[in-house]
A and B are shown apart, each in its own frame.
Chain A
């Protein structure tokens, strides 16, 4: 990753933080993005530097196109190029379909799906000029199989998979690959909110018999962002202990 420049959206904590640190390892340059948690984003940047990378911290709400543009510009201004975009920023507003408010639907779709659209749109231009780019969208296995109580989140994640495949087709001739990583049940603040009954039921569904760690997802992202994955595009890589096959 030496000299490679990456933006990781939503990297103040959880999976995003692990991805930022992984991409920073051995000399990678990382734009650490956060929407609201500046302190935690600064801690991510510190961890990136500790891993041997360079980092800047940038506030941006990717659901807004102008914020996404600014984020891309900040990478170009600080590091002179942009090689990797990881669309990780995501929120949840879980409730059963019948109880779901329009605002809850919109908020999740705006950040999780429209945010990725904005980022791809903004980043594609410098990547096309470079004739090189790696875009990795963080989807979810629920986007493949559905999940009660998450109509908004699941729709956004399934949408992200469709967006991945279309962007992959449109940008392929410019040396830009677009792939998705679909985490299963990963130990983060987001899943810590689930009660222990749900947790133990979910673990029963996992052939490898344990919850995953953010680093497991980060390793898959690093692979797809590397030169080793140059012949892979439009794919969804599940990192879920075998939960969905």
Chain B
């Protein structure tokens, strides 16, 4: 666990081959003075379900559209299967796209929509018919080939778009915000269907999304983008547990962030003192930062324990930290009951408020925390993430 903090390396995913099918090399895209993508270098392996994650306007869609051929990079190269595709127009690239609006041709029947790409490739009629049926079956739309798109629901239209792209057997399937236009129930269902579909067809999927839940749930690997810059590329678990910057920690999931000074940094332990925390933050691993430098401690709400505190009692001790570390006193200021869990907002000495969750393990809480109750907040030595930027 020594340097797990700063090197959030991707863990191997079994069905991913070690073969970069897509390679972005120092890609920069400017629209006038605005820099949409700033010197991005990124490899995507064959068989991955890759997510480009970031807030709107971060350049993720531009990156995807460069892959499809709808935007041309200002600088840098895009390689598909090791070949520079700069000279290839969209219709000659071995990638296909599922558009955010689905872009199902409203004037063509479902079967004609799905068969459109094959017709363009000069595939003969019988073969088109067979493959269209196969593709419709794959997305569970069998029998709807004769419908017009306006007779379909939003979810079905998306399946048409999926079938239409997959039927061409592309090397890579591009999905632009695939779930954003669906309602919540349908979105959950589609998430698992996309995953199983990808495993079934074995094609590399690249998805653009601003929804971190979606990315964590579906992707085998994610790239987080912020203002055109690639901030972190990692598996969903690493992204959540080992963020490499304040932006990633804050964007992916919910977090309590404290600014502090690195007091100690050894091979197997480190300590940070934060102004807003009355106790030092102790860690059971090193962080490879300079002593005395400013760092940030990120503490996920679910990683904070909450215990009753009697007035005037001595601080409790965490078993994996020195006495006095990783434990701070506070007062519950707000409680939000959410059914499966309850959110608490605890005010520390000095006024800083900290979020924490408690799962509702039983039907009524034995401890019965209530408003304005004094509590201890405590965390394990391996729970906080120390961020250098």
B partners with A: no
